[in-house]
Structure 1
Amino acid sequence: MAQQISDETKNEAMKVAKSIQKPGQTKEQTKLVALGIEKGIAEYKKQQKGKARVRDKQKKQQVRAKARATENEHEVEESIEDRAASPYLPWGLLTLSWIGFISYIVMSK
């Protein structure tokens, strides 16, 4: 897979190659060193993009986990509210059954 290297990277590589140039080194040798540096810079950038991608995925997973946690909290709160409304039903049925039991005893005598 041919990879396009930006002009900025080429210029950086050439600057570095010239800064480490040895006395008596030909222009061809300097260009070869610059090519090696270009490849190194390109590989480094590629690795950094991969790491950034992994970090982004982890952030998204954390956001999703937080969203699920808050959703679960809302569901728990709703179920607690539902339970808070329902205690009247059992107590009402108990009261009605006692009233019915007492009225049955009183009427049967």
Structure 2
Amino acid sequence: MAAAKNVSDETKNEAMKVAKATQKPGQTKDQTKLIAAGIEKGIAEYKKQNKNKARDRDRARKQDIKVKARTAKAEESETSDLESQSNNHLLPWGLLVISWIGFIGFSLMK
């Protein structure tokens, strides 16, 4: 009975419409009300399941966003590491070339 209190008036009206539409000849009002109550319960359960599915989809979507953000951040850090490494390789070669030019220039001045 506690679940019946949580059901909206719209759901109750819809359940009663369906129960009356499927009413058999000779069926009493109490029987129709019982059928309507069962339909209400089914509608409430259906809404509850859809709500849970929507919540699960939202959690999965948020998890995907987090994973993509982490992946993008990792790729960005790898790219910056590669760039800094490529710049670090130029420094020793540049110093070597400058030192040889200096050595050759010093040797020619004598």
TM bucket by the smaller chain?
0.7 to 0.9
Supply the RMSD in Å over aligned alpha carbons: 2.4
Counterpart residue type for residue 64 of structure 1: K
Q: TM-score, normalised by structure 2?
A: 0.80
Deviation per residue, 1:19-67 (Å, 9 max, x gap): 0000011111100100010001000110111111111111111111111
Q: What is the aligned partner in structure 1 of residue 8 from structure 2?
A: 6
Cα distance, 1:91 vs structure 2 = 1.9
3-state SS, counterpart of residue 33 of structure 1: helix
Select 2:62's aligned residue among 60, 63, 73. 60
1:35 paired to 2:42: no
Identity %: 61
- Partners of 1:88 and 1:78 in 2: CA distance: 16
**Structure 1 outlier segments of 4+, above 3 Å:** 92-99
3-state SS, counterpart of residue 24 of structure 1: coil
3-state SS, counterpart of residue 74 of structure 2: helix
- Partners of 2:2 and 2:39 in 1: CA distance: 17
Q: TM-score, normalised by structure 1?
A: 0.81
Counterpart residue type for residue 54 of structure 2: A
Count of aligned pairs: 103
Select 2:53's aligned residue among 48, 51, 54. 51
- Partners of 1:91 and 1:5 in 2: CA distance: 77
Gaps of 5+ in 1: none
